[in-house]
Amino acid sequence: MKRVLLVGGSGMLGSNIVVSSSAFDLYPTYLRNRITHPRALQLDISDRDSVLKRVEAIQPEVIVHTGGMTKPAACEEEPALAYKVNVEGTAHLVEAASSIGTRFILLSSDLVFDGSAERYDEDSLTHPLSVYGRNKVEAEELVRTGSDDFAILRTTVMYGWSSRYNESMAEWVLRGLQENRELNMYHDQYRQFILINDLVAAIFELIEMKAPLNETILVAGPELLSRYEFAQRLAQTFGLPEANIRSTSFDSTPQAAFTPKRLRLDTSKAARILKTPIRGIDHGLRVMVALAEGGYRERFNCFF
C-alpha cells in the first residue's frame, strides 16, 4: 500500500481523493478547514521548514499537490499572497520531494493558456493572462526542473459532489434549481467540464505507475460546451425544470480575473497514457445521480 501525502485535502478535488482513497496509506493536509481523517495533518506550504519536516517524517512515496489558492479572483485580489502560496509553496514541496526521491503530481490548469488558439496540446506555448495562470506556469516549471519523477495534470472546470467546505458548479446549479432561483449562465464561454471522480481515478492511476513519469498531460472532458448548456443538461439528468436557467453573455459581465471565452484541449495524450476513461457530460451527470443514490455524498460527513 503506497504512502501518499495529499496536499490540499480539504479542497474540492482533495476531499474526493480522501473519500475514495482506501487503496492508499493517505496523509491528507489542510490549512484552515479541518479534516477528521486519522492521518490528517495541518500544513502551511508557504512555511519551508514545516514542509521539509513533515515530508521527512512521513516519507511518502508520492506527493499529490492539489492545494494552494485555487480561486482566480482571490489571486487577483491578493497577488503577493497567491505567489507565496502557489509558487513558493510548490517550491518547498518540490524541494522536500526531491530530498527523498518522491514522485510529485501537480494539479495545474487550462488557464495557463490565453484562449486565442483553436486548440491546445501539451506542447502549446503558455500565455496566462491572470495571476492564477501565471502562478501555475511558474509552479509547473519548478516541478519540471526540480523533480526526477513527476506528472503535471492540466485540467479544467470540475463538476461532481464535494464536502461542506466547497461547492462545485454542478452543486451550485442543483441548489439553485431546487430553491427555484433564477440562474444566469454564460452561453458564450466554453470549457471541457470534467467529472471529479474521473480526475481522481486518473490521479490514482498515476500514483500506481511503476516507471518514472516526467509528463505534462491535459486531462479534460471530451465535449466543449457552455455553462448554459451544462446547466440545461444537468437539469434534464436530474429531472428538474429548466425554466429558471437564463442565458447571459460572458462579454456583458465584469470579470474579477481574466478567463478565456473558449479553451479546447487536445486530450489524445491522456487517452494514450491513461486507462481511465474520461466520461462525457451526459454520462458523467448520470454517474453523479448514481453516486448520490449509492450514498457517496454521506462519505464526506466522515471526514469533513
CA 53 to chain centre: 26
3-state helix, strand, coil in the chain (%, to 5): 45, 15, 40
Taking alpha carbons only, the member of 85, 80, 36 closest to residue 65 is 85
Whether 31 contacts 9, CB under 8 Å: no
Instruction: Based on the residue annotation, tell me whether 132 is a catalytic residue of this protein.
Output: yes
Q: Measuring CA to CA, how many Å separate 209 from each of 108, 151, 201, 204?
A: 20, 11, 13, 9
Q: What one-character DSSP code corresponds to residue 159?
A: E
Q: 181 Cβ partners below 8 Å, 6+ apart?
A: 244
- How far is residue 9's CA from residue 66's CA, in Å, rounded to a whole number? 8
- How far is residue 239's CA from residue 210's CA, in Å, rounded to a whole number? 44
- How far is residue 124's CA from residue 121's CA, in Å, rounded to a whole number? 5
Residue type for position 149: D
- How far is residue 84's CA from residue 95's CA, in Å, rounded to a whole number? 15
- How far is residue 5's CA from residue 131's CA, in Å, rounded to a whole number? 27
Q: Choose, from 132, 186, 228, 296, the residue flagged as catalytic.
A: 132
Q: State how beta strands 41-42 and 150-155 pair.
A: unpaired
Taking alpha carbons only, the member of 266, 270, 278 closest to residue 200 is 278
Q: Is 191 helix (H, G, I), strand (E, B) or coil?
A: strand
Place of cell 433564477: 182
Report residue 224 as a C-alpha cell: 466543449
Which active-site residues does the annotation give? Answer: 132
